[in-house]
Amino acid sequence: MKKLFFALMLGLAVAASCTPEYDDTAINDRMDKIEQEAENLDAALNALMERIAAAEKAIDAINKAAADEDYVVSVVASEDGKGVLVSFRNAEAVFIPLDLDASMVDGVVISDVKVSEETATFTYTDGTEVVLPLYKEKAFALVLETAEFTVNAGETVKVAYTVEGATENTVVDVLATSAGYVAKVTETHVEITVPSPFVDGDVLVWADNGAGKTSIKKVSFEENAISVEAVAEVAAEGGEVVIKGVSNVEVTAEVVEGADWLTAVPATKAEFAFKFNAAANEGEARTAKVAIKTAAGVLLQEVTVAQAAGILPFATLVWDATVPFGGGQDRNMTMDSEYVYVAQAAGGNGAIKAISIADPTQVKDVKVTTYTPAGLDNGTHAISCVRMLPNTDASVNGGKPVLVASNLTTGDGTEKLIVYVWSNGIDADPDYFVIDSGARRLGDKFTVKGTYQAGELHFFDFNDGNTVIRVNMKDGVAGLWGTPELAYATGRFAIPVAGVSNIGECTIHPDATFDGDGNPSAALLTTNAVNGFFTQEAGNAYAASAWGTDPKLTQTYGYNFFEHNGKDYIAYVKVAGDRASAALNVIEDVNGAADFKGTLEAQTGLFTAPVNGTGNAGHGLGDCATAVVDGVRYIAVMGQNIGISLYKLN
C-alpha cells in the first residue's frame, strides 16, 4: 500500500515539473504529511498484530497449564493497564492483552482475568472459563510421624520425618537431652535408643534451612506398663475367653500358639478386655499362648490360655422337619448335596418332595410323570421308593448324582415294575422303564450298587422273600435279566427265607465280592421282627447263617456305608417296636465285607440320636441317607409317620 502511494505522488511531481515556473512546495508538504500518516498506520497495524499473537500464545499457554495441572505463581498488571503478565510454576510466563476488541480478530482473544486467594480465573470472549490453582510456597517446618512413645527399656525406635519447604541447604540433626539416650539421623528417619534401666527423657530433633529459619520438635518417651488378670481354664465344650487388664498404651492381642481353636478380637487403650472364641475340645487338654503387643508390634506380655479335655459328639443336629405327607405315607428317602427327597409311598398320588438342606421350610415337588397305559396300572403305589445313583459324567444332570425311583407292585401277575430315572434333573420329566415282574411284589424298597453309568438296582419279593431281582443300570437305562427286548439285563439270585414275611430291606455290603453272574458273597435281610444273614453256597444258592432277634437290629432300615475322618462307618435307622419313635444309629465298620454280620452284632463305636417327632403308623418302616455338602458329611434319617431329622458329622 505504501509503494502504491509513493508511485502516485511521483507521477504528480513529474507532471508538475513540466509546467513552467510551478511552485510545488505545498505538494511536497502534503506528501510528507501523508507519508508520516502511512508510517503511523503501519506501526499501529504491526502493534495490533503483535498483541493478537500474544493473545493467541496466552490462550495456548493457559490451556496447556490446565492440561498439565500446573499452578499460577503470579498475575501482575502491565504499567499501561492494558494487560497482565502471568507466571506459572512449571512453564514460561506469558503476557495477556486485555484491550483487544473481539471484532478485530477471528476466533476466541481473553476478556478478563480474576485472582482469588486460591485460584486464577481466565474468561474467554465466548464465555468459557479456565480456572487454575495458585501456587503457595510451603512454610519451612519439620514434621515428625510420631512424637510420643511408650517403650520397653533398651528399645530402639525409628521416627520418620519430613521437612516442608526444604532446600538443598537444609540440615536435620538431633540432640539427646537426657542421660543414656542415643540418637542418630538418616535421610528418612531418626533412630533413638532408650537407656536400660529406663530413664524418663526427651530428644530434640531440629531442621535448619541455612537461611535463618529453624524448626525444632521434641520426642518424648514413657516406659510401658501393663497388668493382666489371671485367666481361668476354658471348659471342654468351648465358649468365650476374656483376658482383662490395664495398660498405658494401646495394645493388641495375637494368638501365637494354638491358633486353630482360639479367635481373637481387637482391644482398646487403658482398660482392656480381649475376647476370644474357644472351639470345643474333642481331645486331650490343650493350651494356647496369647501375645499382648503394642500397636507397633512390641511384645509386652504373653498370657497362657488352657482348655480342659473333652470329646465332641459324633454328630450334631442341624434341623428337624415334619412329614410332608399325610400320616404313614412316608416310607423311603434319599438325599444329595441340595435336597432330602421323600416319596409318598402310600396313596396313589406318585409324589416326591424335595426338602432343602439349607432351609427345611423350603419344599418343592419333584416333577413326576407316572406310567398309565390302558389296561395297566402302576401297582399299589405309583411311587414307593427313592434312591440316589452316583454319577461320573459331567454332561448328565450337571455331574450331580441322579435321582431314581420305583413304583410298588402287588404281585398279582398283572402289574409291572417301573423304574423312573431323572437324568435331566428333578425339574424335568423322568425317563421310565417297564419291567415284567410276574407274580412278585416288588418296590417296597430297593438298594443301589454301582453308578448311573454301570450299576444295579436290587429289588426283593416282599411276599415270600425268596427272590432278589437284579435290575441292571447302564447309562441311565434299566432292564431285567431274562427279557431280551430290554437291554443291559443282568439276572437274579434267590435267598432262602421262605415263610418269613414282611421283609423290610435287603442290604449287600458295598465291598462284597460278586461271582461272574453277579451274585454277592453275602447279604442281610431285615423284617419287622427279625433279621437274617446269608452266605453264598454256589451260584445264586444261599444258606441262612442266622435269623436273629437282637432287639438292636430288628426293624432297622436304610443301611448306608461311608468314610469319615479316616474310618469306615455304617449308618441306619432303628424303629421302635411300638412304631412310635425312631433313632439314628452309627457304628464303626470294623470288619468290612469279610464279616458284615460280626460288625452289626458287635455295635462298635455306637452313636445314637433321636428322629424328630412321634407317631404310630400302620407300618413301621424307616430310612437313612448320607451326602457330602461343601466338604461336610450329613446324615438324614426318618421314621414312618414320625418325622425327619438332619445331622451333621463333627
Q: Per-residue confidence at 440, pLDDT binned at 50, 70, 90?
A: confident
212 and 122 in a common domain: no
What's the confidence (pLDDT) of residue 644? Answer: 95
Domain boundary among 487, 519, 549: 549
Whether 289 is covered by a domain: the verdict is yes
Phi and psi dihedrals of 379, rounded to 5? 95, -170
How confident is the model over 142-156, as a mean pLDDT?
Answer: 88
Q: Per-residue confidence at 490, pLDDT binned at 50, 70, 90?
A: very low
- Terminal Cα-to-Cα distance of the chain (whole angstroms): 106
How confident is the model over 397-412, as a mean pLDDT?
Answer: 89
Highest mean pLDDT among 168-182, 256-270, 623-637: 623-637
Q: Per-residue confidence at 483, pLDDT binned at 50, 70, 90?
A: very low
Domain boundary among 307, 333, 351: 307
How many whole angstroms separate alpha carbon 544 and alpha carbon 650? 38
How many whole angstroms separate alpha carbon 616 and alpha carbon 642? 7
Q: Per-residue confidence at 5, pLDDT binned at 50, 70, 90?
A: very low
State pLDDT tens for residues 533-574: 777 777 777 776 665 667 777 788 999 999 998 999 999 999
How many whole angstroms separate alpha carbon 143 and alpha carbon 206? 10
Helices (H), 199-239: none
397 and 249 in a common domain: no
187 and 163 in a common domain: yes
214 and 237 in a common domain: no
192 and 166 in a common domain: yes
Output DSSP code: residue 249: S
Whether 107 is covered by a domain: the verdict is yes
What's the confidence (pLDDT) of residue 105? Answer: 57
| Residues 459 and 471 sit within 8 Å (Cβ to Cβ) | yes
Q: Residue 410 belongs to what domain range? A: 367-549
How many whole angstroms separate alpha carbon 234 and alpha carbon 73? 69
214 and 233 in a common domain: no
Whether 241 is covered by a domain: the verdict is yes
180 and 127 in a common domain: no
Highest mean pLDDT among 12-21, 266-275, 484-493: 266-275
Q: What is the pTM of this model?
A: 0.55
Q: Per-residue confidence at 277, pLDDT binned at 50, 70, 90?
A: confident
State pLDDT tens for residues 380-396: 678 889 999 999 999 99
Q: What is residue 18's three-state secondary structure?
A: coil
Percent of all residues in the chain with a pLDDT value above 90, rounded to a whole number: 28
State pLDDT tens for residues 443-475: 888 989 889 998 888 887 776 656 677 888 889
Whether 284 is covered by a domain: the verdict is yes
502 and 407 in a common domain: yes
**638: closest CA among 329, 331, 327?**
331
Residue 161's domain is classified under what CATH number? 2.60.40.10
253 and 200 in a common domain: no
CA distances from 351 to 365, 369, 381 (A): 7, 10, 10
For residue 598, pLDDT over 80 is answered with yes
Q: CB-based burial of residue 504 (10 Å sphere; 0-12 exposed, 13-18 middle, 19+ buried)?
A: buried
161 and 110 in a common domain: no
Beta bridge partner(s), residue 610: 583
203 and 59 in a common domain: no
Q: Per-residue confidence at 106, pLDDT binned at 50, 70, 90?
A: low
Whether 647 is covered by a domain: the verdict is no
Whether 494 is covered by a domain: the verdict is yes
Q: How many domains does the chain have?
A: 4
Domain boundary among 549, 575, 595: 549
Whether 524 is covered by a domain: the verdict is yes
Whether 622 is covered by a domain: the verdict is no
237 and 188 in a common domain: no
State pLDDT tens for residues 323-374: 888 777 888 999 999 999 999 887 666 889 999 999 999 999 999 877 765 4
How many whole angstroms separate alpha carbon 598 and alpha carbon 312? 27
